[in-house]
């Protein structure tokens, strides 16, 4: 690929070729920095997205360094230079040619990793399903590391076939020794592609663990519970568990407040009062509108549910607390009874008790049959 470029230096002395290469390298780096990149930055500054700014700023250093170091490598391939220096051609390659290419490989590997990580961070700030993208960022970093290491080994002429064989044997041993870590790694990838949750979602596991996702790593996911306790859950466990994402597909969640009123209550007035109480609560959303639903005829009450919506799963408990307080006060002010179970125990004077066989009266037997701990109104 460099043969046409090397032919440009045919017929030149070593000093002339060196001077020309240095001038071309300096000129290329200058043009790259002050012309091409400046025009590119001016163009992307007018766009509405930050992604192109990230790409341009991340590629600035590798482009300029490449423009400079390519000249060093080309200089080591010019016949006039190779034949005139004190070092032989092989030593010249080892001292200047391969190191310059190695620096180029490392610089581009760093830039590739940096640009992807910065793009992932920018996407995370915008929200959406790609908030789970740190897993992809970690996989990309590992891929770049392996790719750059393989390229450097090939560049320096190191035979990698024995290394691949040894890596295969070592991989089997590591796989058995770190099977949980490997399971967590692939579990995180599966969770990402399944779009199970993202950072900021409130999730509930089948074992009752609940919290907001604050960090997604290669091995585990970190949750912040309502008690402000950090819980680290392995990705393999999350991949195998039943995960309820209470923040998806949208953050609003319905609150159910059960309440019973006495038989004989004006249900139209009660329903209007309950809806007004919910509408006056600041935590309750205006849309969908609150509503009261008559669920069943209870043993001692008409069983209702007050249904309303709040903006987020973590607000349900607070909203239920406020609604219960407001309903209790409003029903007391309106004179609407909230019934509770009652028992009546009749105690008959001994003189009026009819005698039965064994000396036990009917009233006494009824009182004795009451379960321990039961109480109620006593009428004489």
Does a structural domain hold residue 112? yes
Question: Is residue 167 a part of any domain in this protein?
Answer: no
d(CA 59, CA 53): 10
For residue 214, tell me if it sits in a domain: yes
Q: At what angle do helices 316-334 and 267-280 cross, to 10 degrees?
A: 140
CA distance 340 to 375: 13
Does some domain include residue 299? yes
Residue 116 and residue 23 in one domain: yes
Is residue 297 located within the same domain as residue 374? no
Q: Are residues 289 and 372 in the same domain?
A: no
How many CA within 13 A on the CB side of residue 143?
10
Structural domain boundaries, residue 218: 194-245
Does 57 share its domain with 87?
Answer: yes
User: What pLDDT sits at residue 13?
Assistant: 64
Which tokens belong to 154? 């090939």
Query: Of 126, 151, 169, which residue is a domain's last?
Result: 126
pLDDT in tens, 274-319: 999 999 999 999 999 999 999 999 988 999 999 999 998 889 999 9
Let me know if 155 is exposed, middle or buried by CB neighbors in 10 A (0-12, 13-18, 19+): middle
Q: Do 120 and 13 fall within a single domain?
A: yes
Report the predicted TM-score, pTM, of the whole model to 2 decimal places: 0.53
Give the pLDDT of residue 7. Answer: 62
Co-location of 219 and 268 in the same domain: no
Buried b (16+ CB within 10 A) or exposed e, 241-267: eebebbbeeebebebebebbbeeebee
CATH number at residue 203: 2.30.30.60
Tokens 């992932």 correspond to 120
Check residue 231 and give its pLDDT.
Answer: 94
Do 113 and 40 have their domain in common? yes
In a domain, 100, yes or no: yes
What Cα–Cα distance (Å) separates residue 194 from each residue in 202, 241, 354? Answer: 17, 14, 76
Amino acid 328: pLDDT? 95
In a domain, 145, yes or no: no
In a domain, 134, yes or no: no
pLDDT of amino acid 114: 87
**Cα–Cα dist 236/156, whole Å:** 40
Sign of the four-CA dihedral 149, 152, 154, 156: negative
Contact 165, 203 (CB under 8 A): no
Q: Count structural domains, the chain.
A: 4
Per-residue pLDDT of the chain (380 residues), as tens digits, is 456 655 655 666 666 666 777 777 777 777 877 777 778 777 777 777 777 778 888 888 888 888 778 777 776 676 655 565 544 566 666 667 788 888 888 998 998 888 888 887 777 676 554 444 566 777 788 888 888 888 888 888 777 676 666 666 666 666 665 566 667 777 777 776 777 888 888 999 988 899 999 888 777 889 999 898 999 998 888 888 899 998 888 889 999 999 999 999 999 999 999 999 999 999 999 999 999 999 999 988 999 999 999 998 889 999 999 999 999 999 999 999 998 877 778 887 777 666 655 555 444 444 444 444 444 444 43
Residue 185 in any domain: the answer is no
Are residues 100 and 32 both part of a single domain? yes
Taking residue 57's Cβ as centre, other Cβ atoms within 10 Å add up to 15
Contacts of 132 (CB under 8 A, 6+ apart): 191, 192, 195, 196, 197, 198, 199, 216
């Amino acid at each position: 690929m460099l043969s046409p470029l090397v032919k440009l230096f045919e017929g030149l002395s070593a000093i002339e070729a060196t001077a020309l290469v240095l001038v071309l390298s300096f000129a290329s780096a200058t043009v790259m920095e002050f012309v091409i990149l400046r025009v590119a930055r001016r163009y992307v500054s007018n766009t509405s997205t930050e992604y192109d700014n990230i790409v341009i700023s991340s590629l600035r250093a590798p482009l300029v360094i490449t423009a400079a170091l390519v000249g060093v490598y080309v200089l080591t391939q010019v016949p006039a230079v190779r034949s005139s220096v004190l070092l032989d051609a092989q030593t010249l390659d080892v001292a200047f040619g391969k190191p310059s290419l190695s620096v180029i490989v490392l610089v581009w590997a760093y830039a590739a990793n940096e640009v992807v990580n910065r793009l992932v961070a920018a996407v995370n700030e915008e929200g959406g399903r790609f908030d789970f993208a740190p897993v992809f960022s970690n996989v990309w970093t590992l891929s770049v590391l392996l790719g750059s290491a393989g390229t450097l080994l090939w560049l320096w002429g190191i035979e990698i076939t024995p290394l691949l064989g040894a890596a295969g044997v070592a991989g089997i041993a590591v796989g058995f020794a770190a099977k949980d870590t490997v399971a967590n790694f692939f579990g995180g990838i599966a969770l990402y592609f399944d779009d199970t949750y993202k950072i900021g979602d409130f999730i509930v596991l089948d074992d009752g663990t609940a919290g907001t996702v604050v960090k997604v790593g290669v091995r585990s996911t970190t949750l912040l519970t309502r008690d402000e306790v950090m819980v680290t859950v392995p990705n393999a466990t999350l991949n195998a568990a039943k995960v309820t994402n209470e923040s998806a597909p949208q953050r609003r969640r319905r609150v159910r407040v059960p309440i019973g009123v006495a038989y004989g209550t004006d249900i139209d007035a009660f329903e209007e009062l309950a809806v007004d109480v919910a509408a006056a609560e600041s935590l309750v959303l205006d849309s969908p509108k609150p509503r009261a639903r008559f669920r069943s005829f209870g043993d001692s009450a008409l069983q209702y549910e007050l249904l309303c919506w709040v903006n987020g799963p973590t607000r349900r408990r607070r909203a239920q607390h406020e609604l219960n307080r407001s309903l209790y006060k409003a029903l007391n002010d309106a004179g609407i009874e909230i019934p509770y179970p009652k028992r009546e125990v009749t105690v008959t004077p001994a003189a009026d008790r009819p005698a039965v066989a064994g000396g036990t009266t009917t009233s006494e037997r009824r009182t004795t049959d009451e379960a321990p701990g039961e109480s109620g109104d006593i009428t004489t």
